[in-house]
Chains A and B, each alone.
Chain A
Amino acid sequence: MADALDREEQAALMDREIYELALQQPDGLDADFLKVALPNYPLEVAVNGVNRLLKAGRLELMQVGTRILYRGVHAGEFERMAGLTGDERLVYKHIENSGNEGIWVRTLKQKTNLLQGVITRCLKGLEQKALIKSIKSVKHPTRKLYMMIDISPSSDITGGPWYTDQEMDTDFIEQLASQCYKFIYLQSYPRAMPRGVYSANHMAYPKSSVVHRHISTNGISTVALSVEHIEELLTMLVYDGKIERIAPAFEVDMGRGGGQSLGTKPKTDWMYRALRVSNMDSPFTDIPCGRCPVYDQCGDTGAITPAKCDPGFANHMRAPRVLLALTAVLALANAANLPVVQPDWVVIPTKLWPGRPPKPSPDAPDGGDKEKVTPKPPKPSPPPAEVTTPPPPPPPPPPPPPPSPSPTPPTPPPPPPPTPPPQPVPSDNPIAPPQPPPLVPNSSPTSTPIGNGGNPAKPSSNAIDNNINSNPNGGSPPASTPSDAGPNNDNNNNNADGDTENTGSATGVNNISGTNSVTDKLPKPTSSLQSKPGNSGSNALDEPSSNKSQSSKLSSGAIGGIVVGLILILAAAVLAFLWSRNKRNRRLYNANDFEEFKGFSPDSHTNLIAATTIAGYGGNNRQSDYVRDSRGYPSSDMSEYNEPAAPPNARVANGSSGRIHSDISFRHLDEY
């Protein structure tokens, strides 16, 4: 027993010695090393100890070439690996060996010869134990790389300082490049001579190391940058044409190229000089063709020609004009009290769209009733609760409307309206207007004489006038009187005070369409009011709940009004656009209006041409008279073809006297 204990103690002692030896040799040790290091033990005993340690996971087997080496596993590593399965350990080892470059799953599969499912399970387990992490490479954004959790990925993986969240940070690059350019520019030219240059032997131009020092010491970048990064920036600036490289006087090996093989050329430490980029404009800057998006389609015929060129149209003309047209239509709609503008109290009868049932209102006494689906005269809207403005004078009594021949309306045409009162009715008269006949505007031949009050020539103006008068109501439902329901209420301005349904929809339609759909403006018969007592009466409308009920009941009509209004606005906008475009085209050919269109005026595109422009070409520091006239001479008779030109071999003087301009003379030579 004691021998057995001694043997165990000896074995444990030997194991400890072997383990410590292995820890001291990070590259591993082999059997020969053990034989030398442990001379007191026979090799068989040492091998048994190694086997025990391998089994316990304290040693690792490594194969370097043909040699078998043993590497000691540190305590921390041993603890981490303790709970791993064999597959997980294998995967973990490969991931660990990949270092800061990471390893792709497919590579892992090739190296471990494990199944994809096994590898996935292992990776999941390792990730749950917070041993590894997954990253994405900027080079291969679709690949998922795995590496140890405590290792930072290499710059090849992250992209270096130029990448933020796996994307190139172009703003950062541009800002940094701009700072570099400014720094180099300041040192590229003598400050005492604004237009001077340094001599050819000047060696104080900044180098990349100097620029790097400037960037790092001034805290321009919070990201740590190396000289190589700065050189990348400077190379970009060279290709931007902002700076140029100057070879140094001596090819100095700055230590960056010396670590390579002997045959390698040492890296040149360039100097950089900023270029004066004062004249970077192209001749195409003078004309709109330089940046014209339809330049390739431009020709002498067709829709896109230089004669029709209007580069300012898109920027200056189109948007304001469309906007103006829309504004005008909206103003018109506002003036006409279209439901688009005031949908709370402007309601278009649902019968305008016969197939569409009115939306049931919970507050309505017959809300949700199936009878509502059937074509019926819509419910009259409640009268306004309070009117602060006096009503307009009453219209003259209109003639009774003729019977409508249209078979479509489900309800008979309204009865002749009562005679309107001769004086304005007080606004607090709470009488709900009658429901108009459910006819589509403009469809009733009888409506025209009625609505116009015998004056079909002025349908819109009356309506607009009425609505203008109604605007001071501030959008509140205007009051109405029974006399407002007269057939010629257009002439009496009682639309502003009368029926809300009629006022909104019918007036709006009439105004836009320019026709007389007076059917909507017809006053509602009293019978209809009587048939719906719940919806009429000022007492009911004075209550907030009644108002709420009113607005909710009107919502279906309001929606219809909005749709009609939108359609009309759209049509008006299109018409306004076409009209303005037509007008523009006409103006384009009108020479007197040319001043208005700076966009395609040549003045707008030749502002860079100074008086000395030709100095850049002709060499003369002034603009010659002959350059202004590109041909250099006046129009010859050849362009008119009134007389033939001289034959090639004839003496031109015989026939050329008429083609010499009068200002070409040699008279001034007389002064010699």
Chain B
Amino acid sequence: MYTQQVGLCKQIVREHYGPIVETVVAVLLREGRLHLGQLARRTKLTGPNIRRALAVLIQHGIATHAMSKDGSRMFTYYSVSLKSILRLQRAGLYLALVEERMGSEGLAIFRTIMVNGLTTIGSVREALSVAEMGNAAKIKFNSVVAKLVRDRYIIAVNPQDTITKVDRIMQEEAVEVEKLTIPPTAKELLAIRRKIIEREEEEYQSSNVVGIKRRASVDISADHSSKLHMGADGRANGFNSYDSGDQNGYSHLNNGHQQQQQVDAVDDKQFFRAYYDRLDVFLRNQQIVNYFTDKYNAGAGALVKSILRVTEQHTRTCRVKLSETVSATQVFQHISAEAPLIDSIDTSKDMFHQKFDANGNPIVDTSSGTELSREKRSEIIFALLEVIHTDSSGIVIKVDERGTGQYRVNFERAAITLRDRCVDALVHEKFGSVHARLLRVLRDKQKLDEKVVAQATMLPIDSCRTRLHDLALAGMIDTVEIPRSADRNPSRMFYLWYVNADKQMRSAMRFVYQGMSNIIERNTKEVSARALLIAKTKREDVILDPGLLTDGERKELQNLARIKQRLTVANVRLDSMLLVIYDIDPLSADHQLLQ
């Protein structure tokens, strides 16, 4: 935890929940887990206010609680999750994602759940006044909710989920230990812990969707095409759930002449919350698509997007290191019809793609226009797949030559590539291109003496030394001591420069946190500078008659809106750095699992 991170969290909480909740969060961040009495003493707030603040935080999944014994008394300790707070910055992105994939109906439902934190579908139904709508709308609502649950955009929540995870594991461990007649040995304790972790992992890997149940089959009219096929886990298979256009949540079984339908019904009494880990997968995938779009072209990006779309059904969180296998044929079938494949690759000089006429002369493709034939389209896709999998990043790997080729996405490599690219851009912006060159040399060649670095980067030794120290001061690189003699005399040591990936990541995150914090503060200042004007716009008479605002005031309001929009977009872009540097790394995702 960094100072900048805490400051940013406080600002975010203040912006979203107000100053009282901010005070409580600030104390919990600073002091760690506390019970109610300790909170009251440290925050100087009244008991009801603290309780309400904690209720809000628990409702939104920011705070967790756990019972623990302190002396002879039992206390409920509260703690907050930094990651949950920082994710509040991405709420707009999450909503945009849901809107893109689930339509406006899915957006309305998801937004209601986000606003209310933990909530039941019945409450959402009430909030959106579904009861007053027609039958079609009700059916639509049910189907969209079922799809949200099935695709894990929202996830069922049990009362145990609000308990601090570490405490829950410790409680389970205590239960297991109590079962033993004698105090456990170290080996037994280790086995108990391993068993608990395995159970957690099993629950995580389980494909069962909690909170959804399949009702009895119902006959439906024959106007539905039978595109969808039931998968092994009862879910719609692969691509059909996306491009069929039939998003009503029905699954079809083509059972002879009789068409049957099973309705996925969601329990109205079950509590749900938004599953942000799953949504981060979509954001990560978009970053991978951007990488290939920038490096090659939009056609390559569309190709990677289709690969990821096919595999993301099975990618629950960013912990997954390798995607499922996708065949080139699947990619061909799933790629969007609007993908800009025309003129995306030149295969005219490729001996493997060259075609010859009867006389042995190469056939030159003179077809042009906006339409591609199926044959040409497949040729372009397969050629682009070859380009993508031979990319130096190693993100897309070819696992088998069977058929048209089997491909997988290495998310671990993708995380490293994207992170390095992001850090390079940061160093390039803060220090310049020469510093970025130094960083790349050290990352590629590991530990180097400054003379060798200067030779590799073609810089004068003194200039190189200055720049290396700049980077070291910013925490981007580090030195390691190689003693020449056993006494480790500093004057007789080699000092080699290298990239300490962990330290570099932390330094970069510190920059990002500070930048986001600055943006929020600037936003606050811009609003407070126009507080009187904003207060005026909220007056009842002004709301009823906007003509009471003068032209200058309207212009100022537009100016404020423009400034806020730009600051928000800058904040979103900085947040994307945070996502790339830390959140999508499978290792850090593993670490976050326990938080």
**Chain A interface (Cβ < 8 Å from any Cβ of B):** 162, 167-168, 170, 173, 190, 192-202, 204, 232-233, 235-236, 239-241, 244-245, 275-276, 278-287, 289-291, 295, 298-300, 305-307, 309, 589-592, 594-595, 601-603, 605-606, 609, 613-614, 616-620, 624, 626-633, 636, 638-641, 644-649, 651-654, 656-657, 659-661, 664-670, 672
Contacts and interface: CB of A to CB of B under 8 A. Distances in A.
Given A306-B518, A614-B96, A196 B346 contact: yes
B91 A631 contact: yes
A606 B569 contact: yes
Nearest to B438: A239
Given A239-B457, A628-B92, A653-B123, A646 B570 contact: no
A590 B528 CA distance: 11
A300 B525 CA distance: 11
B458 A672 contact: no
Given A617-B572, A618-B286, A307 B100 contact: no
B428 interface: yes
Contact of B114 (A168, A633, A638, A645): A633
Given A620-B99, A633-B111, 17 more contacts: A199-B353, A200-B390, A233-B458, A240-B436, A291-B429, A306-B518, A601-B563, A602-B567, A603-B563, A616-B286, A618-B100, A624-B95, A633-B91, A641-B52, A648-B55, A648-B162, A657-B127
B115 interface: yes
B460 interface: yes
Contacts of A232: 458
A199 B350 contact: yes
B112 interface: yes
Contact of A606 (B52, B129, B287, B566): B566
B559 interface: yes
B573 A672 contact: no
A290 B431 CA distance: 9
Interface string B376-390: 000000010011001
Contact of A672 (B56, B120, B140): B140
B196 interface: no
Interface in B231-263: none
Nearest to A309: B522
B572 A168 contact: no
Interface in B252-300: 282-283, 286-287, 289-290, 294-298, 300
A43 B390 CA distance: 76
A290 B16 contact: no
21 contacts: A198-B345, A201-B350, A235-B456, A239-B437, A279-B294, A307-B521, A602-B526, A606-B566, A614-B93, A617-B286, A624-B92, A627-B95, A627-B96, A627-B572, A628-B565, A628-B569, A633-B111, A639-B18, A644-B55, A656-B127, A667-B129
A594 B387 CA distance: 51
A286 B134 contact: no
A609 B556 CA distance: 21
B119 interface: yes
A644 B59 CA distance: 12
Given A167-B460, A648-B118, A620 B96 contact: yes
Given A196-B344, A204-B349, A170 B460 contact: yes
A618 B96 contact: yes
Given A591-B530, A627-B92, A613 B563 contact: no
Interface in B447-500: 456-460
B16 A192 contact: no
Contacts of A618: 93, 96-97, 100, 283, 286
B136 interface: yes
Centre residue among B117, B123, B440 by max chain A CB count within 10 A? B123
Interface in B126-177: 126-130, 133-134, 136-137, 139-141, 159, 162
Centre residue among B96, B350, B430, B526 by max chain A CB count within 10 A? B96
Contact of B344 (A197, A200, A307): A197
B572 A641 contact: no
Contact of B562 (A162, A204, A603, A657): A603
A90 B350 CA distance: 67
Nearest to A163: B460
B426 interface: yes
A306 B521 contact: yes
Nearest to A295: B514
B93 A236 contact: no
Nearest to A588: B529
Nearest to B570: A286
Given A287-B518, A602-B563, A631 B96 contact: no
A540 B117 CA distance: 100
A167 B461 CA distance: 10
Nearest to B90: A630
B300 A619 contact: no
A290 B122 CA distance: 47
Contacts of A620: 96-97, 99-100
Nearest to A659: B115
A647 B55 contact: yes
B43 interface: no
Nearest to B283: A617
Across the A-B interface, give the 10 residue pairs with the lowest CB-CB distance, nearest first. A653-B123, A669-B137, A672-B136, A283-B573, A606-B566, A200-B386, A190-B346, A282-B425, A624-B96, A307-B525
B572 A630 contact: yes
B104 interface: yes
A592 B116 CA distance: 38
Given A591-B533, A619-B100, A624-B99, A275 B295 contact: yes
A97 B119 CA distance: 89
A617 B386 contact: no
B91 A652 contact: no
B519 interface: yes
Given A291-B430, A641-B18, A199 B387 contact: yes
B7 interface: yes
